[in-house]
Structure 1
């Protein structure tokens, strides 16, 4: 990822929040015999561990393709992003851009036992189901539990302690406060580029500047 000090964001707390809010990730490994291998799976934080630690799984045979546990892996997580029109800046000349937040997380996976993997899968399902009126949990019934023990053999769980973070957050920090406000207004307005999540992220990231310029 191209380094730009204006947008660099390698803070562990920011990376953790990004994972909590956007738990769908891309796993990338470089395997000597195959080259680059990429897969996509949900991830969760190991909240009790020190530092940034991810837990997840891959479906077989992805663990073979990645040679999981034998090489470093890069995990990419990204949050709100979207197109920004130059007509929203309030001055010309200008060019369009794309606002985004992303983190590249580097580490070597540690394989989990079947029992540990089942615990991660159980937690993963509970994480997404708990907001529903009738959550479908892995161990809610005997039938569910028996099914969970069967399917766990089709997955390989892992824990990844993040050793290096490369983060980037581009939310128009280089624009004047009035331009930021105008961009946020346009992102909230009905139209082809309405993006409420990105508008909220821009307000949050630039809150001090926006408050200070009133």
Structure 2
């Protein structure tokens, strides 16, 4: 990612929060023939004790675990995209100005541990629970156990152990406070480019500026 110190996320707790809130990620690996391969998949952040490296759980449909050579011991890159969106210079009320794109993203370099059938099923169940928990009438795998057990062998579960990470939060840090406040307002209500989650991130970043009252 772009190397700009003003945009770096240095706090691992914030990285964990980005992963926890944005569970749809891109896994990039090097196949046995040397070609890069990518898959889009859901991820769950595991609860690890303080001081221990991050780890995540996920699954792919077979035979993607073979395509990714997940049992090779090679490192893979997991990309987690947080809120992002177009920022119009028309929101700035200042000139000269050009458009930009604000975003939050995390790159995690991981080693991969393939899981057995029982643990894979547990990952599938936990993933369903994670997203069904907010529904008025949640559907759990035990509710459809026969069907779930029949199709589960078509998935390969795995654990991602994070070796290192890089986080970026480009959130209009280069703009004066009054301009950023207008960007926040537009991201919350613009008829074409509203991104409420991104507006909340920009607002939070504004609150981190030196001299800002807690």
So what's the TM-score if we normalise by structure 1? Answer: 0.92
Structure 1 gap ranges (5+): none
Rate the CA distance shift 1:11–1:97 in 2: closer, same or farther, 3 A. same
Structure 2 gap ranges (5+): none
1:108 aligned to 104, 108, 111, which one?
A: 111
Q: Please say if 1:119 is aligned against 2:122.
A: yes
CA contact (8 A) 1:69 1:108 kept: no
Provide the residue aligned with 1:56 in structure 2.
58
Provide the residue aligned with 1:193 in structure 2.
193
In structure 1, C-alpha distance between the alignment counterparts of 2:210 and 2:8, rounded to whole Å: 20
CA contact (8 A) 2:141 2:148 kept: yes
Report deviation, 1:10.
Answer: 4.2
In structure 2, C-alpha distance between the alignment counterparts of 1:99 and 1:182, rounded to whole Å: 14
How many residue pairs get matched? 210
Q: Please say if 1:83 is aligned against 2:81.
A: no
In structure 1, C-alpha distance between the alignment counterparts of 2:17 and 2:71, rounded to whole Å: 26
Report deviation, 1:210.
Answer: 9.0
Worse-matched range after superposition: 152-161 or 81-90: 81-90
CA contact (8 A) 1:10 1:165 kept: no
CA contact (8 A) 2:30 2:69 kept: no
CA contact (8 A) 1:177 1:209 kept: no
Report deviation, 1:147.
Answer: 2.1
Report deviation, 1:146.
Answer: 2.3
Provide the residue aligned with 1:155 in structure 2.
155
In structure 1, C-alpha distance between the alignment counterparts of 2:22 and 2:204, rounded to whole Å: 16
Where do 1:1-214 residues align within 5 Å? 1-48=1-48, 50-70=52-72, 71-140=74-143, 144-209=144-209, 212=212
Per-residue CA deviations over 1:59-92 (Å, capped at 9, x if unaligned) read 0010110001312110100111111111222321
Counterpart secondary structure, 1:191:
coil
Per-residue CA deviations over 1:89-118 (Å, capped at 9, x if unaligned) read 232112110000000100111011111111
In structure 2, C-alpha distance between the alignment counterparts of 1:15 and 1:209, rounded to whole Å: 19
- C-alpha root-mean-square deviation of aligned residues, in Å? 1.7
So what's the TM-score if we normalise by structure 2? Answer: 0.92
